[in-house]
Amino acid sequence: MKKSFLILGIIGIVIVLALLYFFNPVETAFAPKCIFHELTGLSCSGCGMQRFLHAFLHGRFIEAFRFNYILIIFLPYILLFGIERLALTGDTQKKWRSVLEGRAVTISLCIIAPTWVIVRNVLHI
């Protein structure tokens, strides 16, 4: 059961990344829009993620990070989280999980995300 969810998840990720590679979300009508931004005119902590992924997949790394600077912090975390879930087992996985899902990391992320929303809207970045 777990393996089938893993396979479906990987297929889903590959499809989404392929779509973001071939279609620029700025120029595509079917790219989802941020509801928070649509309602408030403000950028949320995830705004720019689609544009980031499109530029990143095309090797334009500096341009990608300009779309959302917070991903400099979150991308390594997401990568480590993926490694923990997909590649590790047993005690090693438990050790990684205790750090990645630990109280200090969780509190830090819960402080960083809303702080980033405020900073990016005050500074218009």
Residue 55 and residue 25 in contact, taking contact as beta carbons nearer than 8 Å: no
pLDDT > 80? residue 98: yes
pLDDT tens digits for 12-64?
999 999 999 999 999 988 889 999 999 999 999 889 999 999 999 999 999 99
For residue 94, the model assigns a pLDDT of 95
> Which H/E stretch holds residue 16?
helix 2-22
pLDDT > 80? residue 3: no
For residue 1, the model assigns a pLDDT of 59
How far is residue 70 CA from its own chain's centroid? 9
